[in-house]
Amino acid sequence: MSLFHCRTVLGKDGVPFTQYKIRTMHPGSEFRREEVLEKNGLDGLGKPCHDPRITSLGRVIRRWGIDELPQIYNVIKGDMSLIGIRPHTEHEWSRFSENRRSQALKYRPGLFPAPLADGVPNTFEDLIVAEQTYLTAKGAHPFKTDVTYLTRFAYQCIWNGLRSR
pLDDT value of position 127? 86
Residue 111 within a domain: yes
Q: Is the pTM of this model over 0.75?
A: yes
Percent helix, strand and coil across the chain, each to the nearest 5? 50, 20, 35
- Local confidence pLDDT in tens for the 165 residues of the chain: 688 999 999 999 999 999 999 999 988 888 888 888 888 887 767 778 889 999 999 999 988 889 999 999 999 999 999 999 999 999 889 888 899 999 999 999 999 999 888 888 888 888 889 999 999 999 999 999 999 999 999 998 888 876 655
pLDDT value of position 30? 81
Alpha-carbon gap, residue 126 to 140, rounded angstroms: 22
Residue 42 within a domain: yes
Number of domains in the chain: 1
Angle between helix 124-140 and helix 142-159 axes, rounded to 10 deg? 140
pLDDT value of position 10? 98
Judge whether 103 and 135 are in contact, CB under 8 Å. Answer: yes
Residue 164 within a domain: no
pLDDT value of position 18? 98
Structural domain harbouring 121: 4-159
The residue type of 88 is H
Residue 165 within a domain: no
pLDDT value of position 92? 87
Residue 46 within a domain: yes
Judge whether 157 and 117 are in contact, CB under 8 Å. Answer: no
Rounded to whole angstroms, the maximal C-alpha distance in the chain is 45
Q: What are phi and psi of 97, to 5 degrees?
A: -65, 155
